Structure 1
Amino acid sequence: MKNNTFKVIALILTITTLFSCKNNSTEFTQEKTNYVQENYNKIETTITMRDGAKLFTSIYTPKDTSKAYPILLQRTPYSTRPYGANKFKTRIAPNEHLMKEGNIVVYQDVRGRWMSEGTYDNMRAYIPNKKDSTFVDESSDTYDTIDWLVKNIENNNGNVGTWGISYPGFYSTYSTIDAHPALKAASPQASIADFYFDDFHHNGAFLLSYFRAVPLFGTPKDTPTDTAWYKIPDLKTKDQYQFFLDAGPLSNLDHFFEYEKLDNPALKNSENTSDFFWNELKEHPNYDEVWQSKGLIQHLKNVKTHVATMVVGGAFDAEDLYGPLETYKTIEKYNKDNYNTLVFGPWSHGQWASTKTKNSVGNYYFGDSISIKFQEQIETKFFNHFLKGSGNKNTGLPEAYVYDTGKKEWNSYNVWPPENSEKETFYLSDNQELTSKKGKEIGIQFISNIKKPVPYSEDIKTVFTPRKYMTDDQRFAARRSDVLVFETDFLDEEITISGEILAKLQVATTGTAADWIVKIIDVHPSDSKENNKDMQNHLKMSNYHLMVRSEVMRGKFRNSFTYPEPFIPNKKTAVNIKLQDIHHTFKKGHKLQIQVQSTWFPLIDLNPQTYVDNIFKAKEEDFKTQTHTVFTSSAIEFTVLK
């Protein structure tokens, strides 16, 4: 029993670490492990918000008090651990350089999480016009926190910066709205922007691969606690594909989200013991007022001009790809006088915070010291300029610093997407060809068997959140009859795609509902000399099908995410799918390939292929195998660098 308890504790710690992206807390030498305790004092306190709620805050101040320091603030739902004034993190600040050169570093448990008072609201909605002190949101909590810090922490220079990866990135973005005058710099990194397009949904499809993460955000709690109060579902198998296939409709999973008060001291005074996030997902399958109110993008039209922003994202971030790109673009569009930059590298979720030399995503190797150089030459320079330097816009940094994932090199641009780019259209055609000219229209059919959905990975394993699949070799999918493949000949010259991709499908189905998935693939030549000694043993770079971008559209949302509608059986219908930006060169001798399919399991949940208002409440008999048709009038619109 004791061993099982330790295993559960270890799993919870691992999961929290994954979501808070503390891959910047990698192993250190003994000297590095002791650095924070040797050079910083730690203060634990609570800061009272305008409505009286007390938020737990850990403050690390340099022992060298001979000069004033700026404040770096991270607000998090993932805990400010370790708790205890004599217990120290092994690493603080956005990176090791900012830690060692000296900054006041502050971590805060957000409202209703861990040791903070109040009620937690997942992606708490912004309140534009707060009538009195009872109207609070993450913007007001950040303002009140910064106000207290600059007035009460000794040796601060009056300048504050916020940063965070993933959910903490959401709070960093939030800090720029109605910002405190002392806030001079914010770096939202892998920032959630809207839970209907990040993490748990993609264009109306539920990300079933995040199923086990639901309790992390939705387990109720009514008292401060320094111990994890949520439990992660145990699937009792290493084969998640088979588990979810056997489980059937989503409603069969409800029992994972009912909690017993006796097992959870944090629930002792709670009237509700069901998972509020799971209920939210279930009861709001459409992009209704609940999700709309929680989105941040629509509130970034008036970011304060005194706040400089540096948005960071990973080209292969399986969790938050929409957020960083849309955050940058929206700030850029509506705040012309602001300092706003984008860094977009060859990373998975939060990988830029790693101190590892080798930079691989899954099986694919991009180079050495990519993350380390970002920390040294970009991130540190940004914060120092606005928090310790002149604070003007002459940072010496580019507007957009974007990694070409095909050439494996950084590029700097004055705008993003680059000015010297234009739209170019490729058409799907018979005989698996992808051509620049539109041919005669025919329909290509395939059977979408709900008993044998297309897997998103060939790996047989259960993961907490998906990462590796973003660069996976797609040959396993290309060889299935329910995946349509279209590709160019071997390229005579390179093509660099820089920006959004729009798939303009013309489709039909014998049913009344369907999902549509489009994948962009870089097919490497059979004589490829590239190699990665750490890739899976059964793979080689010869003919490697590198997935560089992919996306799903739940077909009933093709015209509106708020007002779904069924397909008319056998009627040709337009379905447009926006795929997020890439910056990738398809080299000479490679092929540009498109894959089109209708299932992607269990990355996304299984569509019944019969229209129902709410898939979370679909019944077994609603699920039907259907025949789908993709017409060769379908096109893929790229943004091509000239």
Structure 2
Amino acid sequence: MLPVRRLALFVLALALMPAADAQADWVRQHYTKMERMVPMRDGVRLFTSIYVPKAPGTYPILFQRTPYGVGPYGDDEVRSSLGPSESLMRDGYVFVYQDVRGKMMSEGDFVAVRPHIPAKTAGQIDESTDTYDTVEWLLEHVPTNGRVGVWGISAPGFYATHALIDAHPAVVAVSPQAPVTDWYLGDDRRHNGAFQLQATFSFVSSYGAPRPEPTTERAPSFRDYGTPDGYDWYLDLGPLSTVNDRFFDGQNDLWQEILTHDTYDAYWQARTPLPHLRDVRPAVLVTGGWFDAQDLYGPLKTFDAVEQNRRQAGAANDTPTYLAMGPWWHGGWARSDGDRYGDLWFGQRTSVWYRENVEAPFFEAYLKGDGEPDLPEASIFVTGANRWRFFDAWPPREARAASLYLQPGGGLGFDAPTQQGLFAEYVSDPFKPVPHTPKIVVTRDDRYVVQDQRFASTRPDVLVFESPVLEEDVTLAGDLFATLFVSTTGTDADFVVKLIDVYPGDAECRLPDGDCEVPMGGFQQLVRGEVMRGKFRNSFSDPEPFEPGEVTEVTFDMEDVAHTFQRGHRMMVQVQSTWFPMVDRNPQRFMPIAEATEDDFQVATHRVFVSPEHPSHLSVRVLD
């Protein structure tokens, strides 16, 4: 007999099947589909699927470029949904989907996170020129009102960001959503230099597979694990340098590039669009999710880069930039009602609200209207309090800087420690790493961001710092940085810091069906967790070993938060040095980790100092 949760999902899937068929029939009735090979300036042709409303008139274009396929392929086969949302689909737009260069049915060679070329010579191409050339072709071959909007989630968000750079004049509105932005510093492949092992193996096994010729079929991901136990499987994986030959027949060049470039070298620096987001002319709506385990870095840093450059330009560039951040997983704002995630209940359909009150008005104003949507600069859902708040800047101007100190005896608070020379220590054993979730499956599992952290807080290799019960609400809103003063017996170490909301002992499940996976009394909700590879503490390009026994400062970006710790709750910080298999194991020896063998791994003792001269703390912004 199926468990209740699985049975409910099965019944839901059955219920949605005729709904999807009905949606496809609606698309057939109201849109004409065309498939075209659109030529680029270098002669390569990109497969493009175009849906034109059958009703007379001219319409704006909503355009998405994707490496994941624009299927279903064939003039007689149509998508069951068009555009970012159903409301926009029914409002009437020309919807255009394109296979990016070298993927699926498009010609050319694929380059993951292809670098932008700022000063091109004749014939040079990048994602910005492919976008520009496609828009130019569409304006000549499709009846439109002359306005184009671009959107995309994740990798398509990366391509949307590139539509902002040297934008075609007809591109007037762009929405990068959870955009891949920097695969080394914070998105997907590495975080602060630490390799995201499980997610990268699972994803790149397909994404980096060779495509000898155009095809309508995506390369399958690796599935031959032989066990459901991801913890043991990744412990037995062996040296990462052998993975390409053992599992991918030596054909996965992308995997090899990611491993080979283990510092923030020219390869990675060329692949982020952030330095090129200057003189942006289209209106911008950046969207992200607070529980996005894949691309939280991307939306926050993209918004900041565009907005900072706009402010520097002053009156020379007054097109606004908008930010929307909600309680969503990766793309959850487009694929759910947004009323819950895991055992967390938000009390409202946050995704529906966003689609109807932010996304649709943004595109309608710029593509059909006067270009003046009634939107605040930042629409932010504050978790914990579970309410939307609206600001004229992000971080909020009214939020004040503060420090949340790790204190002697496992305390936590806004008062700095006063006793000299104190520290907490733990032994980190890479052969028995701390798991990132209570149950490790073999493929990536992003649910760890909302799972109870009690499984970790009881381990001896996890330090726990906890505040007294809060007598009033504390709301953090804005950037979050960790500063640890540490010493180690090794020459390298990872440091994982987790900010946690501890529920009172009598807290009850708030889900309407009462089907929480764990008891909510004492629940430890992960508000934000991040890892830092210690050898990059001073430079991501030039790593440095630790001097054993020497107190060293390690400061790193944990990404923004918007969360209220309610009265009666506690604030908690956990510190650890393994987070496996999400993050690869650090041998705790200064060396290229991808080349490490089992003999290179060593047990190390780490100290975290909590004293006036070495005050480990989180830098936060408090919103009164």
TM-score clears 0.5: yes
Equivalent in 308, 314, 327 of residue 346 of structure 1:
327
Equivalent in 324, 327, 330 of residue 299 of structure 2:
324
Residue identity over aligned pairs, in percent, reads 44
Alpha-carbon distance between aligned partners in 2 of 1:480 and 1:535, rounded to the nearest angstrom: 29
Equivalent in 405, 410, 413 of residue 432 of structure 1:
410
Equivalent AA in structure 1 for residue 361 of structure 2: K
Q: 1:406 to 1:161 in 2, by over 3 A?
A: same
Q: CA deviation at 1:372?
A: 1.1
Q: CA deviation at 1:471?
A: 1.1
Aligned position for 2:9:
none
Instruction: Give the SS at the match of 2:323.
Output: strand
Equivalent in 411, 422, 425 of residue 400 of structure 2:
422
Q: 1:121 to 1:525 in 2, by over 3 A?
A: same
Does the 8 Å contact 1:257/1:274 carry over to 2?
A: no
Equivalent in 588, 595, 618 of residue 617 of structure 1:
595
Aligned position for 2:562:
583
**Where do 5+ consecutive residues of structure 1 fail to align?**
1-24, 260-272
Does the 8 Å contact 2:507/2:522 carry over to 1?
A: yes
Equivalent in 197, 207, 213 of residue 217 of structure 1:
207
143-152 vs 453-462, which deviates more?
A: 453-462
Aligned position for 1:89:
79
Q: CA deviation at 1:299?
A: 1.1
Aligned position for 2:423:
443
Alpha-carbon distance between aligned partners in 2 of 1:185 and 1:165, rounded to the nearest angstrom: 15
Instruction: Deviation per CA, 1:388-447: give whole Å up to 9, x if none.
Output: 0012xx311110000010100000101111111111112212221013222213121111
Q: CA deviation at 1:209?
A: 1.9
Instruction: Give the SS at the match of 1:294.
Output: coil
Equivalent AA in structure 1 for residue 445 of structure 2: P
Q: Are 1:367 and 2:326 matched, yes or no?
A: no
Instruction: Give the SS at the match of 2:101.
Output: coil
Q: CA deviation at 1:359?
A: 2.2
Q: Are 1:80 and 2:62 matched, yes or no?
A: no
Instruction: Deviation per CA, 1:473-494: give whole Å up to 9, x if none.
Output: 1111111111001011000111
Aligned position for 1:641:
623
Aligned position for 1:282:
259
Aligned position for 1:204:
193
Does the 8 Å contact 1:362/1:467 carry over to 2?
A: no
Alpha-carbon distance between aligned partners in 2 of 1:398 and 1:231, rounded to the nearest angstrom: 41
Q: 1:32 to 1:563 in 2, by over 3 A?
A: same
Equivalent in 10, 33, 49 of residue 58 of structure 1:
49
TM-score by length of 2: 0.93
Q: CA deviation at 1:231?
A: 4.2
Equivalent AA in structure 2 for residue 335 of structure 1: R
Does the 8 Å contact 2:326/2:381 carry over to 1?
A: yes
Does the 8 Å contact 2:490/2:546 carry over to 1?
A: yes
Instruction: Deviation per CA, 1:97-137: give whole Å up to 9, x if none.
Output: 010111100000000000000110000000001111x2100
Q: CA deviation at 1:30?
A: 4.7
Does the 8 Å contact 2:244/2:251 carry over to 1?
A: no
Instruction: Deviation per CA, 1:176-230: give whole Å up to 9, x if none.
Output: 0000000010000000111112001000011012111112221122321112245
Alpha-carbon distance between aligned partners in 1 of 2:440 and 2:171, rounded to the nearest angstrom: 47
Equivalent in 549, 553, 558 of residue 574 of structure 1:
553
Does the 8 Å contact 1:363/1:532 carry over to 2?
A: yes
Does the 8 Å contact 2:288/2:325 carry over to 1?
A: yes
Q: 1:27 to 1:502 in 2, by over 3 A?
A: farther
Aligned position for 1:114:
104
Does the 8 Å contact 1:359/1:369 carry over to 2?
A: yes
Does the 8 Å contact 1:522/1:592 carry over to 2?
A: yes
625-634 vs 183-192, which deviates more?
A: 625-634
Q: 1:230 to 1:541 in 2, by over 3 A?
A: closer
TM-score by length of 1: 0.90
Q: CA deviation at 1:533?
A: 5.8
Alpha-carbon distance between aligned partners in 2 of 1:388 and 1:473, rounded to the nearest angstrom: 46
Q: CA deviation at 1:380?
A: 0.7
Aligned position for 2:383:
405
246-255 vs 517-526, which deviates more?
A: 246-255
Does the 8 Å contact 1:257/1:275 carry over to 2?
A: no
Does the 8 Å contact 2:340/2:346 carry over to 1?
A: yes
Instruction: Give the SS at the match of 1:28.
Output: helix
Aligned position for 1:262:
none
Aligned position for 2:130:
141
Does the 8 Å contact 1:503/1:579 carry over to 2?
A: yes
Instruction: Give the SS at the match of 1:431.
Output: helix
Alpha-carbon distance between aligned partners in 1 of 2:18 and 2:153, rounded to the nearest angstrom: 19
**Where do 5+ consecutive residues of structure 2 fail to align?**
1-15, 312-317
Alpha-carbon distance between aligned partners in 1 of 2:399 and 2:617, rounded to the nearest angstrom: 19
Alpha-carbon distance between aligned partners in 2 of 1:358 and 1:524, rounded to the nearest angstrom: 22
Alpha-carbon distance between aligned partners in 1 of 2:513 and 2:498, rounded to the nearest angstrom: 25
Equivalent AA in structure 2 for residue 410 of structure 1: W
Q: CA deviation at 1:250?
A: 1.8
Alpha-carbon distance between aligned partners in 2 of 1:364 and 1:456, rounded to the nearest angstrom: 19
Alpha-carbon distance between aligned partners in 2 of 1:149 and 1:537, rounded to the nearest angstrom: 50
Does the 8 Å contact 1:257/1:278 carry over to 2?
A: no
Residues matched between the structures, number:
595
Q: CA deviation at 1:358?
A: 5.5
Aligned position for 1:554:
533
Equivalent in 31, 52, 56 of residue 40 of structure 1:
31
Task: Give the root-mean-square deviation of aligned CA atoms.
Answer: 1.6
Instruction: Deviation per CA, 1:566-612: give whole Å up to 9, x if none.
Output: 11111111000211111101111111110000000001000001111
Equivalent in 184, 192, 198 of residue 180 of structure 2:
192
Equivalent in 289, 300, 312 of residue 287 of structure 2:
312
Q: CA deviation at 1:556?
A: 0.5
Equivalent in 168, 179, 182 of residue 156 of structure 2:
168
Q: 1:142 to 1:600 in 2, by over 3 A?
A: same
Instruction: Deviation per CA, 1:126-149: give whole Å up to 9, x if none.
Output: 0001111x2100000000000000
Alpha-carbon distance between aligned partners in 2 of 1:472 and 1:320, rounded to the nearest angstrom: 18
Q: 1:244 to 1:29 in 2, by over 3 A?
A: closer
Q: CA deviation at 1:367?
A: 2.6
Alpha-carbon distance between aligned partners in 1 of 2:83 and 2:432, rounded to the nearest angstrom: 47
Q: 1:535 to 1:501 in 2, by over 3 A?
A: farther
Does the 8 Å contact 2:68/2:218 carry over to 1?
A: no
Equivalent AA in structure 2 for residue 551 of structure 1: E
Q: CA deviation at 1:252?
A: 4.2
Aligned position for 1:21:
none
Aligned position for 1:6:
none
Does the 8 Å contact 2:244/2:256 carry over to 1?
A: no
- Match runs of 1:490-509 below 5 Å: 490-509=469-488
Does the 8 Å contact 1:607/1:623 carry over to 2?
A: yes
Alpha-carbon distance between aligned partners in 1 of 2:533 and 2:183, rounded to the nearest angstrom: 15
Q: 1:538 to 1:470 in 2, by over 3 A?
A: closer
Equivalent in 165, 171, 187 of residue 177 of structure 1:
165
Does the 8 Å contact 2:290/2:327 carry over to 1?
A: yes
632-641 vs 165-174, which deviates more?
A: 632-641
